[in-house]
Amino acid sequence: MSSPQPILQRKDLIRDSAYINGLWVKESEQHFDVTDPATNQVIAQLPDQSVSAVNDAIDAAYEAFHTYKNTTPRQRAIWLRNFYNLMLENINDLGQILTWENGKALADSVGEIRYAASYFEWYAEEAPRVYGTVIQPGNAGNRAFTIKQPIGVCGLICPWNFPSAMITRKAAAALAAGCTVVIKPDAQTPLSALALAALAEEAGFPKGAFNVVLADKNTPQVGVTLCESPKVKKVSFTGSTRVGKLLMKQASTTMKKLSFELGGNAPFIVFENADLDHAVDQAIASKFRGLGQTCVCANRLYVQESVVDKFAELMAAKVRQFVLGHGLHSDTTHGCMINGQAIEKVEEHKKDAIEKGAKIVLEGGPLKELGPHFYNPAIVSHVPQSAKVSKEETFGPLCPIFTFKTTEEVVKYANDTDVGLASYVFSRDINTIYTVSEALEVGMVSCNTGLFSDATIPFGGVKESGFGREGSLYGLDDYTVVKVVTIGGLPNKI
């Protein structure tokens, strides 16, 4: 299968260099290939940067911070708004670049760009509203007030599954707060990050405020450098719990502020009194978005036993209508997986569930005739709690349907995991919606909808899904420190 080429209005958005201190830096002793996952064809070659280059980016961000932190919130808001406008002006080009390196369908990519841009819009509006508080201390002759100040240089380590939105969700808040950033995109999807760097420059951000470093084989060393550098005051990471724990250990050497959005294992609970057709549509939207390669997609579907067979049949009928193909083809509804390892995990979880008694509703499986990383979605029902998929995140197009009898039972099942990122509850009963939402051990509960991501709401998890919140009015807190100023010796009366 040949690799379709993006048809761009602005070809200059595809870059082959890192972006440090306002300069495009290509010099490196090593390089790595970026491939189209649908075909495995090489689409770009980029520098695999050394620790020295990363330190150059940190130094640039550190120097820039000393002046950038003193810019007015209103000025930062203007730059953020410019960034938002530029992303929308170039939405089709950015979407094609994203699809080319990530593999998802173009409609999904364009949707991601719109969602990614919304963070710049939101934080353009939040930047001037970082308020402190006035406090009356116990001493009548004292007065105190707090101010929120930018924490400093921030290292942002981002994943491949949302190569634009995971950057903007972090960078928009950091830049709004007055921080400067060093961004490390995943080596599988760096082109989207570099396109954003080009737009950051056009938006007016000062040199050194927005930096992108590149690494593949050198990724572990880059992570250590960002975590251990005393000039970096904050690290934000989206990725696996295993890597998050490693970064946390490394960052402890300098007592950095951290925010981690790590692995999930989202339960999707459907009660028998739910609108079943609606629940099926929303389950499909959640489970198969990006072919299930999202941290908040439904990983375990719990359907009350009285309606489980009907639910499975309805879902299978709609999934059969999917059109898999190269993401740049106009008729494609679902693209490909990111790599071969992702397919292996789906196959492992499917085989395990079937061996333990699950019923095959839709066989699914690899589609080698389309390309190396295509996988037809699979659905299995009556999955036992002993199956691997009940404890492990599949991150792919396997839809495992479990059954339950009572509310107490399903809440116990849903909470029986070390992670707690997102969850879904479907019911027409407001009492069920409310009580189950409170009982679930997660950071986010989505009721009667399968898609909830929005710049206005706080995004993050509990347990081993990490800590910190991105988006919303809370998103700025992770990039600021609270300082209290106390004034003493004031007269009690005039």
Tell me, what's the pLDDT at 493? 73
Same domain, 216 and 324: no
> DSSP character for 5?
P
What gap in Å lies between CA 435 and CA 151, rounded to an integer?
A: 38
Q: In degrees rounded to 5, what are phi and psi of residue 206?
A: -65, 155
What gap in Å lies between CA 211 and CA 57, rounded to an integer?
A: 6
Tell me, what's the pLDDT at 405? 98
Number of domains in the chain: 2
Q: Which residues contact 279 (CB under 8 A, 6 or more apart)?
A: 270, 311, 426
Nearest CA-CA partner of 374 in 353, 358, 397: 397
Same domain, 122 and 67: yes
Q: Tens-of-pLDDT digits for all 494 residues of the chain?
A: 567 899 999 999 999 999 999 999 998 889 999 999 999 999 999 999 999 999 999 999 999 999 999 999 999 999 999 999 999 999 999 999 999 999 999 999 999 999 999 999 999 999 999 999 999 999 989 999 999 999 999 999 999 999 999 999 999 999 999 999 999 999 999 999 999 999 999 999 999 999 999 999 999 999 999 999 999 999 999 999 999 999 999 999 999 999 999 999 999 999 999 999 999 999 999 999 999 999 999 999 999 999 999 999 999 999 999 999 999 999 999 999 999 999 999 999 999 999 999 999 999 999 999 999 999 999 999 999 999 999 999 999 999 999 999 999 999 999 999 999 999 999 999 999 999 999 999 999 999 999 999 999 999 999 999 999 999 999 999 999 999 999 999 987 77
Q: Which residues pair with 144 in a beta bridge?
A: 135, 486
Contact 381, 310 (CB under 8 A): no
Domain for residue 54, yes or no? yes
Instruction: Give the amino acid at 236.
Output: S
Domain for residue 1, yes or no? no
Same domain, 175 and 241: yes
Same domain, 319 and 365: yes
CA-only gyration radius of the chain, Å: 24
Dihedral (CA of 415, 420, 426, 429) sign = positive
> DSSP character for 358?
P
Same domain, 174 and 102: yes
Torsion of CA 188, 189, 191, 193, to 10 degrees: -130
Instruction: Considering the candidates 261, 393, 464, 470, report the single residue annotated as catalytic.
Output: 261
Same domain, 90 and 190: yes
Is residue 89 among the annotated active site residues?
Answer: no
Domain for residue 494, yes or no? no
Domain for residue 493, yes or no? no
Domain for residue 152, yes or no? yes
Tell me, what's the pLDDT at 333? 97
Domain for residue 6, yes or no? no
Tell me, what's the pLDDT at 353? 98
Tell me, what's the pLDDT at 4? 87
Same domain, 54 and 182: yes
Domain for residue 487, yes or no? no
What gap in Å lies between CA 269 and CA 470, rounded to an integer?
A: 25
pTM recorded for the entire structure: 0.96
Q: Which residues contact 444 (CB under 8 A, 6 or more apart)?
A: 296, 421, 422, 423, 452, 457, 458, 459, 460, 461
Tell me, what's the pLDDT at 300? 98
Same domain, 60 and 86: yes
Q: In degrees rounded to 5, what are phi and psi of residue 16?
A: -120, 25
Same domain, 323 and 287: yes
Which CATH number does the domain housing residue 394 bear? 3.40.309.10
Same domain, 102 and 180: yes
Q: Which residues constitute the domain of residue 203?
A: 11-262+466-482
Same domain, 128 and 245: yes
Which CATH number does the domain housing residue 70 bear? 3.40.605.10
> DSSP character for 389?
G
Domain for residue 106, yes or no? yes
Q: In degrees rounded to 5, what are phi and psi of residue 392?
A: -115, 145
Same domain, 30 and 96: yes
